Amino acid sequence: MAGIIKSVNGDEIDLSRVGIFYNKENSKAKYVGELVEKVLKDNWIDCNILTTDEYSCDYSFAIVLGGDGTILRTARYYAPYDVPILGINLGRLGFLSQAKSSQVSEAIDYILRGAFKIENRMMLSAMQGKLNALNDIVIKGDGFSRTSRLYVHINDNIVCDYLADGIIISTPTGSTAYTLSAGGPILAPTIEAIVIVPICPHTMNARPIVIPSNEVIKVTSSQNKPLLKISADGQEIFSVGINQDIEVKKCDYVTKLILLNLEKNSFYSVLKEKLHWGLSWKG
């Protein structure tokens, strides 16, 4: 039975208890999970196949089968337990995953040989820790009226007054997600910074801003908006009242993502492959 595996750069993962988590909405996921289980058990590794409804703190390592949304959900659960995550992409873009379903055997072989590293990804926390996010915290007005006047304070100093459809507060990991669609910058995932991006601002002088990760952000609303909606990674949603300030800051823990030494797995290679970044148009 495998236990502690040490990588060539000194990172360690514990394979004594492996959870294989799959998105049950993906028809292919359980089949791939069974393939992963077979490869692990052939190497005398204790493991279980579970859906993403069956997370448990009993596991020391998580293999996630699905798209980025499945990995985000798993990250929010396992980050407080310091459990590393390996993503196998069954979705579309797969920014957070490290292998395709056809590379399962190769990916596990890399891990057993120590050909991996653990990358700590910064997370955000809001609502006094009730919401935590690997990608982003999004704040929008409630109801059919989409436009809100939102005031952004940084370290108790008012910085921006946005008339917009909402605000995205993003980690570097999330800079290639909703933030990018809203016109924000792309940040390398290991940079310690926070991005604030207005969604469809009703002015030409409202621009994204990048701030240090140790800054504390507070968002308030104008008095004519009774409720705001706040979401974490677009998956967990809360309603907050008009008199409740929304504080967003760097989370106390990180997501531990496994990076493999497979070809085309660097951040810049993924940008080029997934987003066709920097490629000139060919007519």
Which of 108, 128, 99 is closest to 15 using CA atoms?
A: 108
Record the pTM: 0.91
Rounded CA-CA distance 152/155 in Å is 10
Backbone angles phi, psi at 26, to 5 degrees: -95, 115
Q: What is the pLDDT of residue 94?
A: 74
Q: Is 68 a catalytic residue?
A: yes
Domains of the chain, each with CATH number or no CATH: 4-122+254-275 (3.40.50.10330), 124-250 (2.60.200.30)
Q: What is the pLDDT of residue 224?
A: 61
Q: What is the pLDDT of residue 65?
A: 96
- Give the active site residue among 46, 68, 156, 245: 68
Please check the confidence at residue 48 and state whether its pLDDT lies above 90.
yes
The answer to whether the beta carbons of residues 18 and 4 sit under 8 Å apart is no
Q: What is the DSSP letter of 73?
A: H
* C-alpha radius of gyration, the chain, whole number: 20
Band of residue 277 on the pLDDT scale cut at 50, 70, 90: low
pLDDT in tens, 60-93: 999 999 999 999 999 999 999 999 999 999 877 6
